[in-house]
Amino acid sequence: MTIRTDLPYLRARSLRAAQPAPPAPAVSPSPDLADVAGSVAEQPSASLDLSAPVVPSPAQPPSASLDLSAPSAPAAPAVSASLDLGDSAPPTPPAGTPPAGTSLTLFDETPATPPGGTSLSLDAPSQAPAAPSRSPHGHTRTADHGLGLPTINAGERRPMTENEPVVELTRMQSAAGGLDAKVAVSNPSEVILGLVFETGDSRESLVLPGLSQQGPDPRRPIFRATTSGVAVNLRRITDIHRLVLFAVPTRPSKQLPGGTVTVTTYGESRLEIPLVAGPTLGAQALLTGYVVEGRLVLRAEHDPYSGTLQQICAAYGYREISWRDPYTPLV
Amino acid sequence: MRGQAQARFESATQAVADPSGDSVASLLRKNQSLILEINSSAGDLPTIGVVLARAVTDTVREVLTSGDADRLDIGVRVAINGTLTDYLPGSIRAYVGAMRAAGPGGVDGTAATDALVEQLTTLRRSVEQLAQASRERDLQSLQVHGRFLEDKFGESELNL
C-alpha cells in the first residue's frame, strides 16, 4: 500500500520539480502530500546547499595544481593544500572561511592528488619505456633478444651431439608447417614417441599413442602422436610455451633399442638425436623445446637419467599433470 | 643396488676429501646437478631464462671437457665453482621466489624477467670470456673476468 502511494508521490514530485514551487502547496488534497510538497520545496534549498560545496571543489583542482607549482611560485589561495605538501608556503594569507571548510574535506582527498603529482614528475619517464615499441605499421613488436645460438639452414642435416646440443629455429622455421619426429630403429615397434607440453595459457598435457593421440584440444590439435611418430603444428606456435619429446620402450623389459630419432622441419632441415640402447625405467627424455619470442629453441638433452614417465615430467618441470600410475597420465 | 651405494659412498668421501670442490670432476657433477635444477624449475621460469641458463651450463661444460681441462687455472675453477653453486642458482632462485611470492596473476613479471635476462646474459658473456681467456692463457684477462664475476654476483663486502 505504501508503495502505491509512493508512486503517485514520485510522479507529483517530478511534475513539481519541473514546475515552480509555489503551485505545490496550492494542490494539497492530503496532509501527507502537503508534507511531501514541503519536502519538495525544501529540496531546491538542499540542492543549493549541495551546490555550495560543489562550487569550491572545481576551484580546488587548480589549487592542487598550484600546489605542485608551489615550490616555484607559491599562490595565495592554496592554503590547505600548501600545508599538505610543503613548508614552503606557510606565510600565505588565510583565505575565506567557507573554502577552509571544504579544504578540510579536500584534505582527506589529498592522498589522491600526490599520485597525480608524482605522475607528473616521475611516472612519465617510467611509463615511456614501459610502452611496447611500435613498428611503423602500428603493430606491437615484442622485445628481441639475440640468443646467439646455432641456427640451421633449410635442407641441412644436423646431428645433435653432446657438444652441439642446441638449435635455434628462425621465426620463419618456427612458424611454418610442422615439426615431425620419427624413430629410425631396426624394429620400429619397440619404441614409441610422446610429447609433454605446456601451452601459452599455462595448461600442461601430454600426447602418447594409444592414450591421447591429440592435444591439447582434440578439436583443434597442435600436437599429434601416432605409432609412427609425433607431429607439432607450428602454425599455432604462439599457443606453445614449451615441450619435451620423450621415448617410451614398448618391450616388457623396458629396454630401449639403439638408433636415431629424426626431427624434420618444413624446410626439410633435419635434426638427428641419438637413441642410446640400454635399460630404462620406463621413459627417456630426448629433446626439449622452448618458444622464446616466437623462435623455437630445440635442445637434445642427452639426459643421463631415465625414469618413469611421471618422474621425467617432474624433472622437466611439468607438475600440473595428474597420474593414474607412474606410467599412465590422466588425460 | 650395491653398486649405487658404493658410488654414493665414493662421492661422499670425495666430497669430504675435497671440501672446496673445484676439481674438474666435482665441477662437472655440480654442473649436472645445476642442469637438473634448471630443468625442474622450468615451469616457473620464463622460457628465455631456461634457454640462457642452459647456455651458461653449456659453456661451463665445454670448458670443463676441453682438452686441457686438467690444466685449468685455479682462477677459472674458482670462478666456475662460484657460477655453478652461487651466481646462477642465486639468480634463478631469486626469480622463482619472487614469482611464487607474487602468486598467480599477482604482478606483471616483466620487470623480474628483464632482471633475470640481464643477469643471465651478463653471466653467460663473462663465463664465455673467461673460457676464452683460459684457452689463450691470458692471465690478466683471466683475473679481470674472475674479479668481475665475483664483484657482480658474489656477496658484497658492504652487505651487513
pLDDT in tens, A113-148: 444 444 444 444 444 344 445 555 656 555 677 888
pLDDT for the residue A129: 42
Distance CA A287, CA A283 (A): 13
Boundaries of domain holding A202: 157-329
Burial of B28 (0-12, 13-18, 19+ CB in 10 A): middle
Say whether B40 and A297 touch across the interface (CB within 8 A): no
What is the DSSP code string of A288-316?
EEEEETTEEEEEE---S--B-HHHHHHHT
Answering whether pTM is above 0.95, one says: no
> Does residue A250 belong to any structural domain of this protein?
yes
Say whether A166 and B36 touch across the interface (CB within 8 A): no
pLDDT for the residue B129: 86
pLDDT for the residue A38: 46
A48 and A177 co-located in one domain: no
For A272-312, write each residue's pLDDT tens digit: 999 999 999 999 999 999 999 999 999 999 998 999 999 99
A168 and A193 co-located in one domain: yes
Q: Which residue in B109, B75, B73 sits closest to B94, CA to CA?
A: B109
pLDDT for the residue A31: 47
Q: Which letter does DSSP use for residue A283 in this model?
A: B
Distance CA A179, CA A121 (A): 51
A198 and A99 co-located in one domain: no
At A292, which CATH number?
Answer: 2.60.60
List residues of A whose CB lies inside 8 A of any B CB: 145, 147-149, 163, 165-166, 198, 204, 241-242, 288, 290-293, 297, 299, 304, 314-320
pLDDT for the residue A62: 44
Query: Bigger pLDDT: A297 or A64?
Result: A297
pLDDT for the residue A79: 42
For B51-75, write each residue's pLDDT tens digit: 999 999 999 998 888 877 777 888 8
B98 CA to centre of own chain: 20
Longest dimension (CA), chain B: 50
Query: Bigger pLDDT: A185 or A83?
Result: A185
Nearest neighbour of B58 by CB, restricted to A166, A293, A315:
A166
pLDDT for the residue B87: 92
* Cell representation of residue B51: 634457454
Confidence check: pLDDT of B104 > 60? yes
pLDDT for the residue B5: 66
> Does residue A101 belong to any structural domain of this protein?
yes
> Does residue A61 belong to any structural domain of this protein?
yes
Distance CA A223, CA A196 (A): 9
A191 and A280 co-located in one domain: yes
Q: How near does any CA of chain A get to the CA of B14, in Å?
A: 21
* Cell representation of residue A95: 583565505
A208 and A278 co-located in one domain: yes
pLDDT for the residue A13: 53
- B122–A contact, CB cutoff 8 A: no
% of residues, chain A, pLDDT over 90: 47
pLDDT band at B132 (very low <50, low <70, confident <90, very high): confident
* Cell representation of residue A266: 618444413
pLDDT for the residue A101: 42
A60 and A44 co-located in one domain: no
A296 and A257 co-located in one domain: yes
Confidence check: pLDDT of A74 > 50? no
Orientation angle between helical segments B110-135 and B88-102, nearest 10 degrees? 170
Confidence check: pLDDT of A94 > 60? no
Please give the mean pLDDT across all residues of chain A: 72
* Predicted complex: ipTM over 0.95: no
pLDDT for the residue B89: 94
Residue A233, SS3 per DSSP = strand
Please give the mean pLDDT across all residues of chain B: 82
pLDDT for the residue A282: 92
pLDDT for the residue A144: 73
> Does residue A147 belong to any structural domain of this protein?
no
* Cell representation of residue B71: 690444466
A316 and A173 co-located in one domain: yes
How many domains in chain A?
Answer: 3
* Cell representation of residue B120: 643471465
> Does residue A135 belong to any structural domain of this protein?
no
Query: Bigger pLDDT: A191 or A125?
Result: A191
Confidence check: pLDDT of B30 > 90? yes
Mean pLDDT of the region A19-26: 48
pLDDT band at B149 (very low <50, low <70, confident <90, very high): confident
Please answer whether residues A268 and A219 qualify as being in contact, where contact means their C-beta atoms are separated by less than 8 angstroms: no
% of residues, chain A, pLDDT over 70: 57
* Cell representation of residue B45: 621460469
For A196-236, write each residue's pLDDT tens digit: 999 999 899 999 998 899 988 888 899 999 999 999 999 99
A169 and A289 co-located in one domain: yes
pLDDT for the residue A307: 93
CA-nearest residue to B37 within chain A is A315
Residue A302 neighbours by CB distance under 10 Å: 16
Mean pLDDT of the region A243-262: 94
Supply angle C-alpha A127, A131, A136, rounded to 5. 140
> Could you check whether the bond before residue A216 is cis, i.e. omega within 30 degrees of 0?
yes
A187 and A244 co-located in one domain: yes
Interface test with A, best of B33, B34, B39, B41 (most A CBs within 10 A): B39
pLDDT for the residue A281: 93
Domain coordinates in residue numbering, chain B: 22-153
A84 and A26 co-located in one domain: no
Please answer whether residues A279 and A292 qualify as being in contact, where contact means their C-beta atoms are separated by less than 8 angstroms: no
